[in-house]
Every structure is written in structure tokens, then in C-alpha cells.
Amino acid sequence: MASTNDLKNGMVLKLDGGQLWSVVEFQHVKPGKGPAFVRTKLKNVLSGKVVDKTFNAGVKVETATVDRRDMQFSYMDGEYFVFMDMQTYDQLMVSRKAVGDAANFLLEGFTATVATHEGEVLYVELPAAVELTIEHTDPGVQGDRSTGGTKPAKLETGYEIQVPLFVTTGEKIKVDTRTGDYLGRVNS
């Protein structure tokens, strides 16, 4: 238990019958008239939904312990992704739902942050950008600008993104894991 006066960004609260909410922003407000209150912006840990919520100052709220560990992706086992803790060498099987869109950019050996609460995996978070090799893309044709100067390219993970016309098959590129956007070539 913590007081609303102790809230910090990143703190995880257990509200509304056990749902986990992460504090994105908070602001203590002391109006000239009336009691003080805390205005917060909360993000649901599982769904990603963001809501605004106001608490009276000094009210007790239940906090949740979320364990965030850097783990290495080892391999796929059916519908599960197997991650290994690099300190203890324990293996953890994570469902496709918990991995989410990060599955589009995961290769064996990649390190990701795995967040758990009471033994249940909440989500998998990759670094903001990863380096991947282009498995296949058609050659860019000079003067072909009907698509805004981009063309589809299949990454080594099997995911397809849009890249500039000058990028070729076999090149290593940097990809934004949050949006799936091409960020640039990687100089070897």
C-alpha cells in the first residue's frame, strides 16, 4: 500500500478489481479552495489503454510489484516463445499474446525485457530499434514514385516493412520496433 502522495512515474497500481495500471504522469494540485488532489494519467499494463484518473490527496492505493528482467530469446516452441534469464539460466515460456508485436522483430539471441507479475508474463519489450537483414526486396526502378519512393521488403524474421527504393536484398537496416518504420542502413 502507498499513499497518492508517494506516486511516481512508472509505478504500477492495482485498481478496479485487480487490474494493473502504470502511472504515466501525475500532478499534485492544491486549489485555493477545497482539498488537495492528485491528477494522474494511467496506462493499463495489459491492454495499453490510457485513462485520466483523479485521487484525493493522501488516499491509500494498492501497488503491484512488476519484475522486469532482461532475457534472451532462445527459440520458438509451437505457439510459445522461450526466453532465458542470463543470470540464472532459467527458461520461461511466453505466449504469443504476451509477446505481441515484438514477435515481428525477434531473432534468436536478441535480448528483450520481460515483465512479470506474480509469475504471469505481462508483456515483452524490445529496445527502441533493432538491426535486421533484408531477406528479399525487388530492385528499385528509377522514376517509380507512385508509392512515395518506398517498396516492400521482407525482413529475416518474415515481417514485411516499407523501405526506400535504394535499399537492396541482403543489406542490414535499423528498424523502429514501436512503429515498424525503416530508420536507416547499418554501416558494416
Q: Which CATH number is 46's domain given? A: 2.30.30.30
The pLDDT score that the predictor gives to residue 7 is 85
Please give the residue range of the domain that contains residue 77.
67-125
β-strands 182-185, 172-176 pairing: antiparallel
Instruction: Mark whether 57 and 76 lie in a shared domain.
Output: no
| CA pair distance 46, 20, nearest whole angstrom | 8
Rounded to an integer, what distance in angstroms lies between the CA atom of residue 126 and that of residue 120? Answer: 18
What one-character-per-residue DSSP string does 5-61 give?
A: GG--TT-EEEETTTEEEEEEEEEEE--SSS--EEEEEEEETTT--EEEEEEETT-EE
141 lies in the same domain as 116: no
Residue 132 CB neighbours (<10 A): 22
Q: What is the pLDDT of residue 173?
A: 93
Q: Give the three-class secondary structure for 99.
A: helix
Beta bridge pairs of residue 71: 85, 112
pLDDT in tens, the chain (188 residues): 888 888 888 888 888 778 888 888 999 988 888 888 999 999 888 777 889 999 888 889 888 888 888 999 999 888 899 999 988 888 999 888 888 888 889 889 999 999 888 888 888 888 889 999 999 988 876 665 655 678 889 999 999 999 888 888 999 999 998 888 999 888 86
Mean pLDDT over the full length of the chain: 87
Of 63, 79, 114, which closes a domain? 63
pLDDT tens for 136-156 read 988 876 665 655 678 889 999
pLDDT of residue 167: 86
Q: Are the C-beta atoms of 162 and 141 separated by less than 8 Å?
A: no
Q: Which residues contact 128 (CB under 8 A, 6 or more apart)?
A: 176, 177, 178
According to the model, what pLDDT value does residue 124 have? 87
Q: What is the pLDDT of residues 104-135, one digit of tens each?
A: 898 899 999 998 888 888 888 888 899 999 99
Which element (helix H / strand E) includes 95?
strand 91-95
**b/e sequence 73-96, b meaning 16+ C-beta within 10 Å:** beeeeeeebbbeeeeeeeebebee
Domain boundary among 84, 107, 125: 125
Q: What are the cell numbers at 109?
A: 539471441
CATH code where residue 110 lies: 2.40.50.140
Is the overall model pTM greater than 0.75, yes or no? no
Number of domains into which the chain is organized: 3
